[in-house]
């Protein structure tokens, strides 16, 4: 049943083009009563493989700022590993509610990015050049650690937060921000997944079913993306994160 559910979810992920870690957590916890920390472990471990191919594809297209991504990724690894260990010290119900709130905040950021981009551009000053020198390493390690901690503690990819950071602080252009974000999420997923694995929280049976279902489903869903009207895609991107947060918050 988990495999079939993840097959359907993977199809939606492939169709929308989003990571879906938050929805994976919500489905496992609410639909299959998987303990919260075990669900976080599965979501992070699954992201390793879903972001690997995406990051490689963006790299081949020249859509990754490698130096910036490497600095944020290094900070992200430290933050994610620490976040996983801190999360395990907290009550699972508290982690569940915190995860749902962060997913809803992510949905708001996605809404602003998709539907209110002009307002967002007027609100923030986006640098017209890449951040370099000492500031890159200081800001990069700090921003990477914070985003990594959020991802490791609450099991989400934090893509909306990372992309906004890349745009506002590091001056990465939008297209390259998407590719660089996937590069940053990869080491974050590895470190967070390792943190939960070392604490015995990763259920390999659930992980393999989740990974197989989403891998096959994402391939099928990606075939449908170009057939969908643009308004449907925009709505689906925001609705997916919103649905995950709401389900996790109010699901029994």
The pLDDT value given to residue 117? 78
At residue 225, the pLDDT reads: 64
pLDDT in tens, 169-187: 999 987 888 889 889 999 9
Range with top average pLDDT, 55-64, 97-106, 109-118, 123-132: 97-106
Instruction: Please write the tens of the pLDDT for every residue from 39-49.
Output: 999 999 988 88
Residue 12 CB contacts under 8 Å (≥ 6 apart), including other chains:
20, 23, 217, 221, 236, 240
Mean pLDDT, rounded, for 191-211? 94
pLDDT at 78: 97
Choice between 124 and 142, residue whose per-residue pLDDT is larger: 142
Given a cut of 70, whether residue 17 has pLDDT beyond it is no
> What is the mean predicted confidence (pLDDT) over 54-71?
87
> How many CA atoms within 13 Å lie on the side-chain side of 204?
4
């Amino acid at each position: 049943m988990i495999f079939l559910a993840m097959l359907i979810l993977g199809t939606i992920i492939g169709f929308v083009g989003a990571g879906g870690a938050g929805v994976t957590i919500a489905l496992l916890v609410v639909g299959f009563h998987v303990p919260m920390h075990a669900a976080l472990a599965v979501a992070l471990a699954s992201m390793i493989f879903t972001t690997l191919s995406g990051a490689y594809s963006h790299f081949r297209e020249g859509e990754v700022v490698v130096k910036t991504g490497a600095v944020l990724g290094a900070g992200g690894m430290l933050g994610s590993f620490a976040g996983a260990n801190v999360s395990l010290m907290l009550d699972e119900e508290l982690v569940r509610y915190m995860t749902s709130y962060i997913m809803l905040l992510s949905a708001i950021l996605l809404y602003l990015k998709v539907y209110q981009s002009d307002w967002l551009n007027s609100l923030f000053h986006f640098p017209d050049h890449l951040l370099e020198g000492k500031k890159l390493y200081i800001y990069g390690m700090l921003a990477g650690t914070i985003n990594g901690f959020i991802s490791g503690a609450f099991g989400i990819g934090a893509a909306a937060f990372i992309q906004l950071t890349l745009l506002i602080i590091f001056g990465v252009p939008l297209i390259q921000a998407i590719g660089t974000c996937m590069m940053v999420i990869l080491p974050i997923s590895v470190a967070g997944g390792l943190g939960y694995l070392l604490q015995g929280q990763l259920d390999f049976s659930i992980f393999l079913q989740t990974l197989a279902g989403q891998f096959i489903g994402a391939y099928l869903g990606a075939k449908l993306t170009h057939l969908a009207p643009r308004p449907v895609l925009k709505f689906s991107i925001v609705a997916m994160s919103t649905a995950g947060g709401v389900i996790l918050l109010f699901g029994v």
